[in-house]
Structures are given as C-alpha cells and as structure tokens.
C-alpha cells in the first residue's frame, strides 16, 4: 500500500483521490495547501486524516511514499525536484514541466534516487490505448 501526499486543494484533486481509493493499492495519507485552514477544510471534506500548511511539510513526512503535484504549472518543477531530493516517488499533473531541460533533470534525479516519476496522463492506461499498442 502506497501512502500519497497531495500538494494542493485544486478541484482536480477530488478525481485523483477517487482514483487512489478505487485502486485499493493506495491510501490518501495527507493533503497540503499554502494555507493551513484550507488544507484542513479540504481534508475534512475528503475524509483525509492528515493536512499540512506547507508543501515542504507534506513532502518531508516520513509516512508518505508518493507525492501528487497538481499545483500551478510554473511550480511543478520546483516541487517535483524537492520531492525527488527527499526520495519520494512523484506524479505530476499536466503539463509535466515547462522546459525540456527541467524534464531531463527530473528524470535523471529520479533514476539516481530510484524513484518513480511520471506525468498524470490517464490516456496511456485507457483500454483503447492499450489495444492500439
């Protein structure tokens, strides 16, 4: 069972949370916001036991295995890099990053630290896509 930490209370998070819960292979351990009260309210709404008033606090929690990053596009790279440096697996919402060099650096860091890293691209796993492959 993988424990997920989520770095945002954006509307897309509810769909990701539903997917984790449906998979039976993951657990939504915590959610972070740059505002503690927002994180708390979202955690109550989604029945998440832990919440954080900073992204760093969520990433640094030893109980979390994988970080989901649905933040503003311009800060995907910053938080993905920090999570990988903390030896966390990472799933980043689209677009992955803004520049090719950032993507190359993140994938190199993920290899170096033996961490999983991917863009949250569901179409790769749809039955139609798998059939075409």
Who's near 16: CB < 8 A, 6+ residues apart?
Answer: 6, 68, 70, 120
Counting Cα atoms < 13 Å in the Cβ hemisphere of 66 gives 22
Structure token digits, residue 40: 């708390």
Q: Taking 90 as the threshold, does the pLDDT of residue 130 lie above it?
A: no
Q: At residue 5, what are phi and psi to the nearest 5 degrees?
A: -115, 135
Cα distances (Å, whole numbers) of residue 90 to 52, 67, 86, 117, 128:
18, 5, 11, 5, 26
Closest CA to 70 of 3, 11, 20: 11
35 close to 7: Cβ distance less than 8 angstroms: no
Q: How far apart (Å, rounded) are the C-alpha atoms in residues 30 and 37?
A: 14
Name the residue among 4, 2, 10 with its Cα closest to residue 76.
10
Inform me whether the pLDDT recorded for 17 exceeds 80. Answer: yes
> pLDDT digit string (tens) for 65-83?
999 999 999 999 999 999 9
- Joined tokens for residue 39: 């994180």
Percent of the chain's residues with pLDDT above 90: 89
Task: Look at residue 63 and tell me whether its pLDDT is greater than 70.
Answer: yes
SS3 29: strand
Domains of the chain: 2-132 (3.40.50.720)
């Amino acid at each position: 069972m993988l424990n997920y930490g989520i770095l945002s209370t954006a509307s897309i998070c509810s769909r990701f949370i539903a997917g984790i819960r449906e998979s039976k292979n993951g657990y939504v351990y915590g959610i972070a916001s740059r505002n503690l009260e927002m994180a708390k309210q979202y955690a109550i709404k989604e029945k998440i036991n832990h919440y954080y008033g900073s992204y760093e606090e969520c990433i640094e929690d030893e109980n979390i295995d994988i970080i989901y990053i649905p933040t503003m596009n311009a800060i995907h790279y910053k938080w993905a890099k920090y999570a990988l440096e903390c030896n966390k697996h990472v799933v980043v919402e689209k677009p992955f990053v803004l520049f090719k060099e950032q993507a190359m650096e993140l994938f190199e860091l993920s290899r170096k630290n033996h961490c999983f890293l991917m863009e949250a691209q569901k179409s790769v796993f749809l039955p139609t896509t798998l059939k075409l492959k």
